[in-house]
Amino acid sequence: MNATPRWLTSEQQAAWDSFIRMQEKLVGRLSRRVQADSGMSASDYLVLAKLTETGGRMRFMDLVKLLEWEKSRMSHQIARMTKRGLVNKEECPEDGRGAFIIATSAGVTAIEDAAPRHVEHVRRLFIDALTQDELDTFARISKRVLAHMEKQPD
């Protein structure tokens, strides 16, 4: 690491602060809406959305990597969701240490009921604020930052 910090310019700091504030406010509002609309936490919604997007069944560690969560966080989340009947955990016959997480019919119904309202909130709070050109630019920038992050050490 460099001995001298590479401080942000005022313009860079303003861009960073705006991005962080937007992201925190957007995630906070969407989390509160999903809870109010469906009774699910944002984490419940995210896990069920990713499971159902991939056919309703996923290896535990693949889900951990996809969501970029710690194993312990995912374990606690899955335990809570299992108690509520939203998912099941099934041991992997080929790998004694591995497990599959499976969306139950109740979990599938919960995400199917919640998704239309969630997408409407995403549209209202984010999509509708931007033109198509701005959305295209935002998508390109996001992909560039994600690709750059993949090349960087944690």
- Going from N- to C-terminal start, the domains of the chain cover 39-149
pLDDT for 101 equals 97
Instruction: Give the SS3 label for residue 65.
Output: helix
pLDDT for 96 equals 65
What is 39-149's CATH number?
1.10.10.10
pLDDT for 146 equals 94
Scan for tokens 């996809």, then name that residue: 66
pLDDT for 1 equals 55
pLDDT in tens, the chain (154 residues): 567 999 999 999 999 999 999 999 999 999 999 999 999 999 999 999 999 999 999 999 999 999 999 999 999 999 999 999 999 999 877 766 789 999 999 999 999 999 999 999 999 999 999 999 999 999 999 999 999 999 999 7
pLDDT for 67 equals 95
E strands within the chain?
57-59, 87-91, 99-103
Question: Do residues 59 and 74 make contact, with C-beta atoms less than 8 angstroms apart?
Answer: no
Burial class from Cβ neighbours inside 10 Å (0-12, 13-18, 19+) for residue 107 reads buried
Question: Do residues 27 and 42 make contact, with C-beta atoms less than 8 angstroms apart?
Answer: yes
pLDDT for 3 equals 78
Residue 102: strand pairing partners: 57, 88
Distance CA 81, CA 139 (A): 32
